[in-house]
Structure 1
Amino acid sequence: MGRCKVKAHVLKNISRPILNWQKEMGIATAQGTGVSPASFYETMAAKEEHYHNLISFTTVEYNPDDGLVYCGITAADRDILWTFDPGTKKFSSLHFDSVGEKYDIKIHRSLILDDDGIIYGATAGLLEPFEYLDAPGGKVFSLNPKTKEIKILSIPVPHEYIQTIALDRKRKIIYGFTWPLHKFFRYDIKTNRATNFETMGSHPHIPAVDDAGNLWGQWAIMGSTNNFLLRYNPEENKIHFLRKGLPKMYTADSGGIDGMLNGGDGYIYIGTVSGALMRLDPKNEEVEYLGKPYPGTRLAGLCIGRDGLLYGGGGENYNTFIFAYDREKRKFYDLGRVYDPDINDACVIVHHITITENRTIYAAETDNMERSGFLWECKVEI
């Protein structure tokens, strides 16, 4: 058995809870049944407090070189990249708003530390059709943690914004999937060349690169909610559209990938939208169901601790959890809810996690419909 000591850290928050999202965002009224069409940017800009303070945490990456947690957030004012110091408990802005544009409103599952100390990231957006052609597209960027310099490297897919990336550290390739048209791209860092493979019909919440350098993700039949695995081989420059998906937990399970990482043991570990943990063997493309660590859906966060344990986080509707999985013993450890008793509040959705050397997990909270998202510190005791 184990547990987590949980503390919520607040970067920004609104002055009072949102009681009715549609009414307070100005997209519906009590007088009528119609919905007023508005984009995310238009809705947030209507109230200054929402524009600057109604945020979500969407990606986190711990950097052992400086001991900071790098945080990508959703924010209409484009101030979307911050650091958190676990020692001082202070946030600091990296001022992405000085290099981004109007539609760069979040960093969504897209911060990765490379072996040379550089952090790579990508910007996401929330576009509507009437904004699409005016929007330049999501940016692949680099961040030097020592100098804090941010460089925009590429807009790999014009007008599309980048939901998630993976990094092939050996070949220096960044892979990404976009929204809203679910396009897949490859960006070669050394040559500064982007290749757009067009739509996949779907995208994983995060992809992963196996030991042989293959990129793993998902695709879907156009218009379908059922997802299937894909594998991209960089040597062949070919996408293999597998005609198989992840095991389903229930009839309506889409088989969507919510979390994914290379476990360093030859396997790819997958957290599913249905809340299950699975293991993919890239050599034979077989998927094994490992278990369901907590009730409910969403298993978005996965990372490996220095102790060799696989740590995960997920859940939704304030029933969110942290767990550990011993891969040798095939044993789950329930580490408890992401709940801070000091403020009597819980994380509504765990969107991403990262872990420090001393087994402190930081969980990114997103899509809270009552307040801003917080950064949740979970000190693990096993």
Structure 2
Amino acid sequence: MYREGIATGAFAAACLLFLSACASESDTEAAPTVTVTAAQPSADAVTDTVTPATTLPDPAATTPVAAEGQTFIRIDQTTYDIGLPDVETAVFTSGDGSIHCSFTAEHGQYAYPQRMFAIDETVGGCLYGMEDADGVADYVSITTDATVQPTFAEPQDGISPTFPTASATLDTGEFVHLGKIGCFAPTASEIACTKFTTGEAFSIDGSPDGAGFGELSNEQVMAQLTDDAGYTQVLSRVIDIPFNGEDGVRCFYDTTVEERYSCVSLNLAGWEPTEGPGPANILAWELQDGNAEFVRAFAANPGFDLYESRQPLEPGLYRLDDGLVADYDGTRITFTTQNGDSFWTNGPDYGTQTGSG
């Protein structure tokens, strides 16, 4: 089972997904203001030094596997973290070693000492192809910060940046969530990434006869992530379901409580609370051994990543983590477990049903 973790420490006091400990707050498109009361490490402690660089490995003699109809599994971001102080990182190669990517979380609108992909900008790049006689490989600069670079990904000529050693690969049928973006590997020689809010996406094919860098449409990304059963893999752990301007929801795994799945209402009226004061803005279900059980409707602040790491979804069939699937028809979203239990919401209403009826 792969489940994306979320750091504690500096953000515990900011109620980052610590739902039961937070006061209610309206959910607007503007991110909330939260006062941090816990002791914080000094910003001077942040360092950008990296481990010694390695040269780009030669591509292995690997025949790419056909990507059509395959399923994908989530790899935790911590698998690729190289351990810089107070900043999350992700460094990986493609399965055949022909692509080498490096990302860090960089401060956006939240200037906390600890940088996290869940709320900050994602910045980095990828090297691919064989180095030439001058030691220069092809390089793509990648950033979610439009003030730094107008487009999500831009090829750069004559640049060979120093990359830290990658301790793991992003191989065929795997994906990783890095805050505002998701990256996945359709084949052993290909890595593709997409920026959730804009739909901008690209693919790099590092094989000797591959196409190299190319932009992808959102439709192409969704097609690559769709399996033979018609379910599209969701890359973010936070999904944005619009319904309409007032009744939309955002749903996510609450990693502070094992097997908990929650939905947050975008309607200030919310739901009738089952505990605590109202209105309730969060619904929570327990998912144990493939069973779904409603837990409570309550008021809480769900955290910054609800705003920064969300993946907007169009109507369709989707595959989430741990065998959970979702059917979104535009007016209602229904989640179904491996055992056939289901739970749903259309914004104003919600319900739960066991597989046996």
Q: TM-score, normalised by structure 2?
A: 0.31
Higher strand share: 1
Structure showing greater Rg: 2
